[in-house]
Structure 1
Amino acid sequence: MTRPIERRALLKGAGIATATAAATLGAPVLAAPALAQTAPRVRWRLTTSYSKALPTLFGASELLAKYVKEATDGAFQIDVFAPGEIVPGLQAFDAVQNGTVELAQTALYYYIGKDPSFAPFTTMPFGLNARMQTAWMYHGGGLELQDKFLAKYGVVGFVGGNTGAQMGGWFRKEIKSLDDIRGLKMRLPGLAGQVMAKLGLVPQNIASGDIYPALEKGTIDAAEFVGPYDDEKLGFVRVAPYYYYPGWWEGGPTIHFIANDKAWQKLPASYQAVFKAASAYANADMLAKYDAGNPAALRRLVAQGAQLRAFPIEVMDAAYKINTELMAEISAKNEAFKEIYGSMLAFRNEGYLWWQVGEYPYDGYMIRARQRG
């Protein structure tokens, strides 16, 4: 992957090549300083759904702003604001839609109250893993479906990160059967909350900065967020010792940058290209950071008292069955969801044809070999 300095050099090199070609054709050529002077000055505000205490999630916004600024020699700047500095974290999308800010960093599945069709662009229960999600978005029709859907809201979406497979969350008590699920209040956003509600759980949608106090006070009994690297920073191990896996509702969730369409259309094409490249870099960088940071964080959490537990197969099977029924119900009522989810589901089923002979056997063998020493 091109480093920041190399990326900037490439952009400037491209400009030199363009000028040389123009001179060869007899076209007038502007000196580099003149071009820089004519570049419009643009300053956007970005509000994020994620706390500054989360350097990987919040940091993706800072990374985007850094590269956009560097690649435009400071002509296009993005100021990043934490939740509550302009609007609460879960109002980020609305702030972009109504023009309060030009840009937001958020997860689209936070907004299924508007339409469940938002969810597949982030993640679905028993959906795609991280690599499949990225492949579907870039090369499986996901981006085209996303652009068509988001246009109704006057916004433009850009893939800007992925956490990888998440954990199943922190519980104050052990889960041994379906009976232990019933009546629990759990921070669990997206359609997974609706699935678990059918199992008797009471889902809550709580912004990242409010999860720990709610868990500590007993307002909720359990909470999921991301995985070891972020969960360690939020301190959940101190108030809920049982750490469950897998997070079947988030096999590979995508984080988005959402821009106001009118503001986006006003950008010069060169600024749009820089923004897209910076967003793509942030997307790859986030997953790499989680993959690098999660192993050591998991070791530390166990040392601090976290008790790793796998969800009972009874719970997994019941959730899978209910999820299949729920997706069919929503699809029957919502044509947009039917089209989007159908595309994602077909991509998942086709993708696992390869996964079962390529990725999974290799990983499975290496895990067993590691255990044998």
Structure 2
Amino acid sequence: MKRRSFVKNAGLAGILAAGAAPAVMAQQAIRWRLASSFPNSLDTIFGAAHVFAQKVKEATNGKFEISVHAGGELVPPFGVVDAVQQGTVECCHTAPYYFFGKDPTFALGCAVPFGMNSRQMTAWMYQGNGLKLMREFYAGYNIISFPMGNTGAQMGGWFRKPITSLADMKGLKMRIGGFAGKVMERIGVIPQNIPGGDIYPSLEKGTIDAAEWVGPYDDLKLGFYKVAKNYLYPGWWEGGPELDLFVNTKAWNALPAEYKAVVEVAASHAHVNMQATYDAKNPDALRELVGKGTKLQPFPKAVMEASYKAASDIYGELSASNPNWRKVYTDWAKFRNDDILWFRVAENEFDRFMMTRKL
């Protein structure tokens, strides 16, 4: 049986499960470089790129190898999109909303305030029009995208002082990534877009008053509790932020069909694995943080309401002025709204009940 017919008829997932991939993938050796936006100290969010690269290597019997490089090693953390677009590296792993300055539409491929949770985001990408629409947009940057990770709903960050009212937010210098900073500006915050590896020293020195990253597991590793004790939630700007693998279009088109299938499956595996890891490790990390004196606090309702209104205003303004945004956002918003109607029935009521139980 010809190799291509075998792949087509058996399906890549079946080939990988059967361990037949090495025999099928008698292809040329290929070497790629992946530039990450994240520091290697964060084994979960940075580690997703290693999970991906290892699966690619295994599935091709070592013929297709991808070296993974932490933020700043090859290019700056926020320079990875330019590097992929220009072909300096073949691919990168990043949070698309970091690049909202190029076009706010980037943020819709990751997370925007009061958006979807992680399951809804994945559903939009794989079963809705998300992947199609985002790929059409990214094509203008010489990029093809693949979902490759989600953290789940994030925490709202670390604050030097308690937040008891909307007035307490005004004038705060806060490290907050991506598009959410635009909303924070509307409620008086001064956003700072700082790479993950630079957050702790900025908070320690008082250059910033508050900072958000992901959640308990990463935040414990980064040591934020040592310099700020007030840990707020939820991260309303990141209900389900998706990380992406961005691949240079020319590099992608040069791959054999079998290797393209491997990349797609390996990215999907890393996508699921990242959130599973966070969900498994966050509970113990949160207990440890509380044990170290961390003070958990929900955002005051006034802050949530003001932020929601600010976000809605911005989305309306962008829809009126940016055709790229309007095209993607219209579909994104409909999918979000429809899915929330479903989640508020069985999912929400089940979760609400379980949270009242003493387990």
Aligned equivalents of 2:179, 2:80: Cα separation in 1: 19
Is 1:127 matched with 2:115?
yes
Aligned-pair distance for 1:348? 1.1
Match of 1:10 in 2: 18
Match of 2:259 in 1: 271
Give the counterpart of 1:81 among 43, 47, 69. Answer: 69
Aligned-pair distance for 1:88? 1.0
Match of 2:185 in 1: 197
Give the counterpart of 1:304 among 289, 292, 300. Answer: 292
SS at match of 2:357: helix
Give the counterpart of 2:135 among 147, 164, 173. Answer: 147
Aligned equivalents of 1:84, 1:117: Cα separation in 2: 25
SS at match of 2:350: helix
Is 1:280 matched with 2:268?
yes
Using the size of structure 1 for normalisation, the TM-score is: 0.91
Question: 1:271-330 deviations in whole A, cap 9, x for unaligned?
Answer: 000010000000000010011011110000000111000000000000001111111001
Match of 2:46 in 1: 58
Amino acid at match of 2:315: M
Match of 2:327 in 1: 339
Amino acid at match of 2:178: G
Aligned-pair distance for 1:342? 1.4
Match of 2:99 in 1: 111
Match of 2:58 in 1: 70
Amino acid at match of 1:186: M
Identical pairs, percent: 52
CA contact (8 A) 2:98 2:179 kept: no
Is 1:187 matched with 2:195?
no
SS at match of 1:368: coil
Amino acid at match of 2:348: Y
Runs of 4+ in 1 over 3 A off after TM superposition: 5-9
Match of 1:137 in 2: 125
CA contact (8 A) 2:34 2:69 kept: yes
Using the size of structure 2 for normalisation, the TM-score is: 0.94
CA contact (8 A) 1:177 1:312 kept: yes
Is 1:40 matched with 2:48?
no
Aligned equivalents of 2:126, 2:352: Cα separation in 1: 27
Aligned equivalents of 2:252, 2:31: Cα separation in 1: 12
Alignment of 1:354-373 (within 5 A): 354-370=342-358
SS at match of 1:94: helix
Aligned equivalents of 2:128, 2:258: Cα separation in 1: 26
Aligned-pair distance for 1:182? 0.7
Aligned equivalents of 2:322, 2:192: Cα separation in 1: 24
Aligned-pair distance for 1:353? 1.4
What stretches of structure 2 of length at least 5 have no aligned partner? 1-12
Aligned-pair distance for 1:6? 8.7
Deviates more, 1:305-314 or 1:347-356: 347-356
Question: 1:325-347 deviations in whole A, cap 9, x for unaligned?
Answer: 11100110001101111111111
Aligned equivalents of 1:113, 1:76: Cα separation in 2: 34
Aligned equivalents of 1:209, 1:190: Cα separation in 2: 16
Aligned-pair distance for 1:9? 4.8
Match of 2:311 in 1: 323
Aligned-pair distance for 1:140? 1.1
Match of 1:255 in 2: 243
Aligned equivalents of 2:195, 2:184: Cα separation in 1: 19
SS at match of 1:57: coil
Aligned-pair distance for 1:192? 1.3
Distance 1:271 1:246, change over 3 A: same
Amino acid at match of 2:168: D
What stretches of structure 1 of length at least 5 have no aligned partner? 16-31
Aligned-pair distance for 1:10? 2.3
Distance 1:71 1:357, change over 3 A: same
Match of 2:9 in 1: none
Give the counterpart of 2:277 among 286, 289, 308. Answer: 289
Aligned-pair distance for 1:39? 1.1
Amino acid at match of 2:216: P
Is 1:174 matched with 2:162?
yes
Cα RMSD after superposing both structures = 1.5
Match of 2:339 in 1: 351
SS at match of 1:315: helix
SS at match of 1:250: coil
CA contact (8 A) 1:8 1:70 kept: no
Aligned-pair distance for 1:191? 2.0
Aligned equivalents of 2:223, 2:80: Cα separation in 1: 25
Match of 1:20 in 2: none
